[in-house]
Structure 1
Amino acid sequence: MRLEAGVVIGERYELVQSVASGGMGDVWRARDRVLGRPVAVKMMRPDVIAEPVFAERFHEEAILMAGLSHHNIATLFDYGTYEGIAYLVMEFVEGQSLSAELREAGVLPVERVRAVVAQMALALAAAHEAGVVHRDVKPANVLIGPDGIVKLTDFGIARATDAAGLTRTGETLGTPFYLSPERALGRSATPASDIYALGVVAHELLTGRRPFDRDTPIATALAHVTDPPPTLPAALPDDLIRIIGRCLAKEPADRPASAQEVAYALGIAFAEVPLMRPVPEQTRLAPISVAPEARLVDLMVRRKARILVLEALHAGGALGLATIGHTVWAVQTDAENVKRLAAEVPEVHFFALDPTDVTLSALGQVVPFDLVLWSGGLIGDLSRVERVIALKGLSETIGPSGRVVLELPLTTARQFAEVTEDAIAAGLVLDLTLSGYDLRPPSDDATTTVLLLSRR
């Protein structure tokens, strides 16, 4: 069978252009003829069809990806066979791979490394929470869109933490340059193995060189076990040097306890990087001062995103997001206040609705939002039944990759547990918990908790 542009896979996906080739499959840009959108189709290579292990790995990749839902993981849409060849259909990410960016730039700026690696860490945290170890974390398996959003891809050799392996006796899968010491010694991969690989990637992005690169794959694998990583430049921020050093610890127990911890450590300083956006009636870029909630949301969405904001009496977050360049709809309960704000802030589309009544149709919309921000304490005024109804409605206003950012003026563990349970009942999953909009980890003295949620 010959694959070429114009071939229609599964009576639906028309191949447009070959974009990548890997060990098990070739990736094509294709057009979904039903929904009219671009997709990525990964076709199992014909020369490996006769190998049962490869076929089973390809099938397992589909099963594992189907169980993952996170905005930093490429979304799986479909799986099937075409003339005896298995294929996966995933979201198509415009942009380039992290490996391509590194080849072009040589070394990436500190702020860029923080942003990219922190998003990779969030993706790994979601995978690990779902019981999946990636096992092949490397720049080539990271795609970056024009909006800066990172997508972790290629779960072809990933494994559920409770699954039996498909690896032949004595075979170690993964790229030697990013292989953890325990895996080099033939032990099983764990989430800590992915965290080690993440540290290797961060080291490479900052220096332009792989920390362990020897003449042969065996020598490289042995270096991971016996050699200390090269010292990072002293001019780099101390916190960055520390977290990468912890990721590269030889013993898994000495590494960060979770990928989420890595994201926290990297994200704090990144939140302090000033936003740079075109200022109206100017041709240059200039720093913009916006509310902290708008700053956090802007990090999570594409440029010119569609954002729904539920606030109390003020409109700081909505105005900030509109100033940055997003299209914003704002919902408040006070009709008189909405009328006043609509006249004062014409950049935002204001509606007077109760949180339990918010739907796309009520807002006169058909296209889902990229993100919903619920701030200002409104959620604390609802009963648990009302809260589930409101959160269920919000989950239906966002797309498959959409997010909900929820601000809770809470102080007790019980209140936090109740809201988390209500979110789950509404069809949302918790991706990350923060102690404020500046990306600080949760703490006992926090007066505000921010939850980052996504659809199941």
Structure 2
Amino acid sequence: MKGAFGSITKARLTTSEGSCMVAVKHLRPCGTAAADWKRMTLRLRREITVWQRLDHENVIPLLGTIEDEQPCIGMVSPWMEAGNLSAFVSRLSPTLVHRLQLPCDVAAGLRYREHFLGSKLRNAYLSPLPVHSKGVIHGDVTGANVLIGDDGVGRLVDFGLSIIKAEFEGTSFITSTRGGALRYRALELVPSIDADVQIDERITQLNTMCDIYSLGSVVLEILSSHIPYFSISDDILVTLALSRRILPERPPSDFLTDPYWALINRCWELEASSRPSADQVYTSLSDLRDARLLQ
């Protein structure tokens, strides 16, 4: 099957300890010149080094890599039979408890990301890291990149792959965006409609605060079962809304209460530096969850 950034193959991994189903992901060439693939492989290895060291219940683990007839390294991770968050919330209508816990799961994954660099990587990895000074950049926090395990826990996947994809297609981060992922993108990644700036100049603005904006959009989807800009069916018109700095509207939902809506809008602050950290969002979501369940 095809994912946002490449092909995904379901396979069985057999070891001395037993066997399990896994997902093998290869980045899709998309016309990239053969001469660039060696450089891309080296770049991907650095990203893989970061992913392999991420060890948290809300981050999909990287079990290993495989090199076969494909032009790029295959990344092996556990197969999540329940699928991604977007499909989960639209198909199964989660309970109140589950809807309130899933936002905490996603925020916990990003929260761990923030603390991970300082505690484990800063002095341990000598080559240039594909991370922001405040932590590892995910770059593509969407409902499709949160997978649901059999235990119902939400886990982040695909750290940094969107950034690599943009680099090696010779495009900006935003122009390399595929499908509905555009709806989760931070406003600052799209040039303002009145800005005299080349789109390719915007890639340098990708940082951890962009992930926080996207986190707010994922929380919106979990609580409402609506994607951002749900009333706009055409992605081109979504791009226009982003360029005009128009935030997603509030969808109708009994789960999306005023306190949650206020927190989401804090994640969407137009001034990126005014957005809360993943740690702060996690704390707020946990408090809101506990208060709601006590009612």
With structure 2 as the length reference, what TM-score do the two structures score?
0.72
Q: Which has the higher contact order (CA 8 A, sep 6+)?
A: 2
Deviates more, 1:126-135 or 1:151-160: 151-160
Following TM superposition, by how much is the alpha carbon of 1:250 offset from its aligned partner in structure 2, in angstroms? Answer: 2.0
CA contact (8 A) 1:73 1:123 kept: yes
The residue number in structure 2 matching 1:168 is 170
The residue number in structure 1 matching 2:144 is 140
The residue number in structure 2 matching 1:33 is 15
Following TM superposition, by how much is the alpha carbon of 1:133 offset from its aligned partner in structure 2, in angstroms? Answer: 0.8
1:303-322 to structure 2, matched below 5 A, reads none
171 and 252 in structure 1: CA distance in 2 versus 1, 3 angstrom threshold? closer
CA contact (8 A) 1:204 1:210 kept: yes
The residue number in structure 2 matching 1:3 is none
Q: CA deviation digits over 1:59-114, x for unaligned, max 9?
A: 34422312312110011121231235421122333432212212314x65554332
The residue number in structure 2 matching 1:222 is 240
151 and 228 in structure 1: CA distance in 2 versus 1, 3 angstrom threshold? closer
Aligned CA RMSD, in angstroms, stands at 3.2
216 and 154 in structure 1: CA distance in 2 versus 1, 3 angstrom threshold? same
- The answer to whether residue 213 in structure 2 is matched with residue 196 in structure 1 is yes
CA distance in 1, matches of 2:266, 2:292: 24
CA contact (8 A) 1:121 1:260 kept: yes
The residue number in structure 1 matching 2:195 is none
The residue number in structure 1 matching 2:153 is 149
Instruction: Give the gaps of 5 or more residues in structure 1.
Output: 1-18, 276-456
Q: Which amino acid aligns with 1:191?
A: T
CA contact (8 A) 1:138 1:201 kept: yes
223 and 239 in structure 1: CA distance in 2 versus 1, 3 angstrom threshold? same
CA distance in 1, matches of 2:5, 2:253: 38
The residue number in structure 1 matching 2:199 is none
Identity percentage of aligned residues? 25
Following TM superposition, by how much is the alpha carbon of 1:54 offset from its aligned partner in structure 2, in angstroms? Answer: 5.8
CA distance in 2, matches of 1:126, 1:97: 20
The residue number in structure 2 matching 1:389 is none
| Structure with max Cα Rg | 1
The residue number in structure 1 matching 2:274 is 254
CA contact (8 A) 2:84 2:144 kept: yes
Which structure is higher in strand share? 1
Deviates more, 1:223-232 or 1:194-203: 223-232
CA distance in 2, matches of 1:47, 1:167: 9
108 and 95 in structure 1: CA distance in 2 versus 1, 3 angstrom threshold? closer
CA distance in 2, matches of 1:60, 1:239: 40
- The answer to whether residue 64 in structure 2 is matched with residue 78 in structure 1 is yes
Determine helix, strand or coil for the equivalent of 2:161: coil
269 and 84 in structure 1: CA distance in 2 versus 1, 3 angstrom threshold? closer
CA contact (8 A) 2:260 2:288 kept: no
Following TM superposition, by how much is the alpha carbon of 1:121 offset from its aligned partner in structure 2, in angstroms? Answer: 0.6
Instruction: Give the gaps of 5 or more residues in structure 2.
Output: 118-134, 192-201
Following TM superposition, by how much is the alpha carbon of 1:260 offset from its aligned partner in structure 2, in angstroms? Answer: 1.4
CA distance in 2, matches of 1:46, 1:244: 33
Q: CA deviation digits over 1:244-288, x for unaligned, max 9?
A: 1111222212321x111111111123335769xxxxxxxxxxxxx
- The answer to whether residue 215 in structure 2 is matched with residue 209 in structure 1 is no
Which structure is higher in helix share? 2
43 and 143 in structure 1: CA distance in 2 versus 1, 3 angstrom threshold? closer
The residue number in structure 1 matching 2:258 is 238
With structure 1 as the length reference, what TM-score do the two structures score?
0.49
The residue number in structure 2 matching 1:265 is 284
Following TM superposition, by how much is the alpha carbon of 1:41 offset from its aligned partner in structure 2, in angstroms? Answer: 3.8
CA contact (8 A) 1:95 1:143 kept: yes
Following TM superposition, by how much is the alpha carbon of 1:206 offset from its aligned partner in structure 2, in angstroms? Answer: 2.7
